[in-house]
Amino acid sequence: MKKKAPKPIQPGPLRQTAPAGTRALAASRHRFWMGVLIAVYVLLSLLYNGAMPFGKPPDEGAHLLYTKHLADKWEFPVLDENVREEFESHQPPLHYILALPFYLSVRGWAGEETTGFVVRLLSTLIGIALLIVAHRAMRLLYGDGLLSLFVPALIAFLPMHLAVTSSFNNDALTELWFFLIFYLTVLSLKNGLTPRRSLAAGLVIGAGLLTKSSAISLFPIWLLVVYLSFRSRPGMWRDIARHTAIAFGTALLVGGWWLARNALIYGDPLGAAKFVEFFHRPDRRDNPEWWLAHGFSWPMYLGLVCLWTFQSWLGVFNHMDLFMSPWIYALFGLVACISIYGLVRYWEGPGRQLQGYQKESQLVFAVGWLLVHALFFKFMLTFFQAQGRYLFPVLLPSALWLVIGFREAFPSRKGEIAAFSLVGGMALLSLIALLIYLMPGG
């Protein structure tokens, strides 16, 4: 007699254990706690907004000039060597179009600080959307367990992420498109990839192209989702071609016109050559050549990039010059090491028993994570911009692995307490960053 396969389980005490009859109650509790989390996040975001003078976070002034250009001239700006203060003019326009109602509501009567506070509210709203998408993605992936609350909570309380979603930039909106693709990944691998879901992915990718050039990474990520959805099935290549055409065709219909505009103005679809020509100055500290000319070797330079990126992923404020205490970064480094150890244990144990769609979703997360990090380090070979916020498009898998790893590093019930302590510690750190480092004025 054929032996019955064991039922797949979720990661330890974080798994869904409620019977079907109580799932509605569990969903209601989740909505309540997500409501509490969002309310706390909004309060913190408004406090961070008020504590950071406008223009202190990176590039805020130039982002506002882009919005002002749209409001005054109703045309897209062009990156111009003679107008260096408008150095964000190469950016795609979607974020700035969305910011127009906020800007126009105060134009003409508000000062810079009031204007800055108002336009930053767009980022706060996007931050709410990020938490909702993260929660839904985790519920699809792991059910109604604590994991689907802990992951968005960690994202909400990460100090640097709070600073980004409380300042005026196009980073938060870029992050939203990545989060939505990860959500559609889980949805499609769990419930099946349909033409409607491929269309939705195309709309998201197209919106990404209209937000930031780094969204080009969404193409290979979704291609992997399509492949995993139809591999080893009859008519596999026909279905892959069909759904790829739907998604990528829609993306180009939405955002392709901006790529064509860039090709006409700058000579390439992403405007990369013009960007390098505009910004690359070997005599400035934001270029590797400066560090190499001041005694650094390439290994030393890359080590500095890793250190600075790690610190600014957790929290380095203002113009990347307001650091927290070294012991905070050291403690978080210990947490990261414990999580890595726990992840190894997880994939040697409970992770092996996950269902197919859960493993495939994690694979897509990992490929997206590696791709974003690889492109980041490639960028670091041309510019010294070791800012952890550039890695936030893959914050969803990063937060997931931090929580799972930290939980799995401890046995049984202690692991659940450890995961709760990780989230609570990050909430405490968000307050420390606000009260000790930001509110005193930096």
Q: Decide if pLDDT at 3 tops 90.
A: no
For residue 18, the 8-state DSSP code is: -
What pLDDT is attached to residue 10? 46
In 3D space, the residue among 347, 336, 352, 304 whose CA is nearest the CA of residue 403 turns out to be 336
| CA–CA gap between residue 263 and residue 375 (Å, rounded) | 21
What pLDDT is attached to residue 441? 62
**Sign of the alpha-carbon dihedral angle for 421, 388, 209, 101:** positive
What pLDDT is attached to residue 229? 94
Instruction: Locate 416 and state its tokens.
Output: 């659940």
Average pLDDT of the chain, as a whole number: 91
Instruction: Give bridge partners of residue 412 from the DSSP assignment.
Output: none
Q: Decide if pLDDT at 369 tops 60.
A: yes
For residue 144, the 8-state DSSP code is: T
- Please state whether beta strands 322-323 and 316-317 pair in parallel, antiparallel, or not at all (unpaired): antiparallel
Rg (the chain; Cα; Å)? 22
Q: Decide if pLDDT at 330 tops 90.
A: yes
For residue 194, the 8-state DSSP code is: -
What pLDDT is attached to residue 21? 58
| CA–CA gap between residue 42 and residue 37 (Å, rounded) | 9
In single-letter form, the type of residue at position 207 comes to A
Q: How much is the average pLDDT of 129-158?
A: 94
| CA–CA gap between residue 240 and residue 253 (Å, rounded) | 19
Q: How far lies 408's CA from each of 145, 151, 240, in Å?
A: 15, 15, 37
What is the domain partition of the chain in residue ranges?
A: 44-438
C-alpha 7, offset from chain centre: 33
The beta-carbon contacts of 335-340 under 8 Å, at least 24 apart in sequence, are 335/402, 335/406, 335/422, 335/425, 336/402, 338/405, 338/406, 338/409, 339/401, 339/402, 339/403, 339/404, 339/405, 339/406, 339/409, 340/405
85 vs 136, which has greater pLDDT? 136
Where does the pLDDT of residue 110 fall: very low under 50, low under 70, confident under 90, or very high at 90 and above? confident
Question: What residue has token string 């349909």?
Answer: 194
Q: Decide if pLDDT at 344 tops 70.
A: yes
What pLDDT is attached to residue 176? 98
What pLDDT is attached to residue 285? 86
Q: Decide if pLDDT at 13 tops 50.
A: no
226 vs 440, which has greater pLDDT? 226
| Alpha helices, DSSP H, located in 165-217 | 171-191, 195-209
CB atoms within 10 A of CB 196: 9
Q: Decide if pLDDT at 228 tops 80.
A: yes
Tell me the per-residue pLDDT of 72-103, one tens digit each, with 9 for 90 and over. Answer: 999 999 988 877 788 888 999 999 999 999 99
Q: What are phi and psi of 322, to 5 degrees?
A: -110, 95
Question: What residue has token string 């367990």?
Answer: 145
Q: How much is the average pLDDT of 24-46?
A: 89
DSSP annotation string for 156-173: HH-HHHHHHTTSSSSHHH
| CA–CA gap between residue 403 and residue 406 (Å, rounded) | 5
> pTM above the 0.85 mark?
yes
| Strand spans (E) along 291-347 | 316-317, 322-323
Tell me the per-residue pLDDT of 204-221, one tens digit each, with 9 for 90 and over. Answer: 999 999 999 999 999 999
